[in-house]
Amino acid sequence: MENFNINEIAGGVCAAKGFKANGLHCGLYPDKNKNDLGMVASDVVCNVAAVYTTNKVKGAPILVTKRHLENSNYQAQAVIVNSKNANTCNADGEQKAEAVCKLAADELGIDVDLIIPASTGVIGQVLPLEPFEQNIKQLVCGLGYDNNEEAAKAIMTTDTIKKEAAVSFVIGGKECHLGGMAKGSGMIHPNMATTLNFITTDVSISTCLLKKALDEIVKVTYNCLSIDGDTSTNDMVSVMANGMAGNIEITVENEEYNIFKAALYNVMERMTKMLAKDGEGATKLLECSVSGAPNLDSAIIVAKSVIRSPLLKCAMFGEDANWGRILCAIGYAEADFDINKVDVSLKSASGIIEVCKNGSGVDFSEELAAEILHKDEINININLNQGNASAKAWGCDLTYEYVKINGDYRS
């Protein structure tokens, strides 16, 4: 990414002009303090781009979102999203998702095809409509231009922190904004899509370029994230652009398009790291940086292979510099390169240490390695030494807590 003047700001999905949000407890979770229904709505109709999970099992809301966006020629005005119940593998799933959209559309006074529905939670449990019927009025009434946190809380499941990011930047002399919220924190191994993410912007940009920018940035951010290797059935990112910043619409890949992409990258990379750091049971954020690769795809494949390895993830939890497991995971990555040229080092706020040179071990101080691995953000730097491409992937350690959380998730 080129270096543009991108300022990190607060506000999440409400950072962009004309976007309101809300979240509340509708009754899907037993805990009355837990928001489980959220909405994001724009004052005006937006251009939209979205990417979806590649899992053959697709949540009903994914199918309905796809249909709505096709019907509306990629326009939308609001997102309605619930947690606790994924509305997936239910015979009446699509019917229920459509009914939820209808409730939202009627209350907002807009066409049903302008609604993007989403659900996250347990697969295969019938979605009750009553909680939506009883709370839709309150949800819409409470929409506010600074209510982003309530919406961000509504999409959390096993997440321990809400995940929001936003930036401001200038395009054609106009101040623009882009922000988002994301949901973790297990069943995360995005493939051509990602976990649940909603992004809003007031930039004016054509649907075609919005989609192009999203595809490019997803590839090097959310798709380079793996918590556990399980690709979810309900993954989706949507970007809604309402044009209220007042810039002249971006319709070609010019400097302004690049600024927009840099803003999108900033927000999506930060949310990717938040997702990794808050992976189920995680105590450490792992970042694997691959350089010297023959091409971008090889760099991504190697970085993801390392980040996904359960053995490496356990070693990081144990703060054990067992670099052989890094080499092992590089070795089974399905990319074409010479393993005998590979260098590996470990880095954190405590320093950097080389552990492997030309595919073989080198002497290193176990003491320094232990200090480095004791930090809660660890970089695994891999230089393939056979090209100029580079990529990063993000993940977390594998801990007792992950097993505990997932041993009894439904209850």
Q: Which residues bind its own copies (CB under 8 A)?
A: 54-58, 86, 88-91, 122-126, 186-187, 191, 228-233, 308-311, 314-315, 317-318, 320, 322-325, 327-333, 337, 339, 356, 358-361, 398-400, 402-411
CB of 13 to its own copies, least distance (A): 27
> Whose Cβ is closer to its own copies: residue 200's or residue 399's?
399
Closest C-alpha among 393, 196, 390 to residue 307: 393
Cβ closer to its own copies: 123 or 389? 123
Nearest to 97 by CA among 59, 131, 154: 59
Q: Which is nearer to its own copies, 206 or 322 (CB)?
A: 322
Distance CA 122, CA 84 (A): 6
Nearest distance in Å: CB 58, its own copies: 8
Between 115 and 315, CB nearer to its own copies = 315
Distance between CA atoms of 22 and 154, rounded to whole angstroms?
9
Of residues 53, 88, 120, 194, which has the active-site annotation?
194
Q: Nearest distance from residue 330's CB to its own copies, in Å?
A: 7
DSSP output for 174-187: EEEEEEEEE--SSS
- Minimum Å distance from CB 324 to its own copies? 2
246/324 with CB nearer its own copies = 324
Report whether 405 contacts 158 (CB < 8 A): yes
Determine whether 194 is an active site residue.
yes
CA 153 to CA 362: how far, in whole Å?
Answer: 47
CB of 215 to its own copies, least distance (A): 20
CA–CA dist 103, 136 (Å, integer): 7
CB of 29 to its own copies, least distance (A): 17
SS3 state of residue 183: coil
- Nearest Cα to Cα of residue 278 among 372, 188, 373: 188
In angstroms, the first-to-last Cα distance of the chain is 43
Is-contact 97 117, C-beta < 8 A? yes
Q: How many angstroms separate the CA atoms of 56 and 377, rounded?
A: 34
258 vs 322, beta carbon nearer its own copies: 322
Angle, in degrees to the nearest 10, between helices 207-220 and 296-308: 50
**DSSP symbol at 360:** E
Residue pointed to by tokens 């004052």: 43
Which positions are catalytic? 194
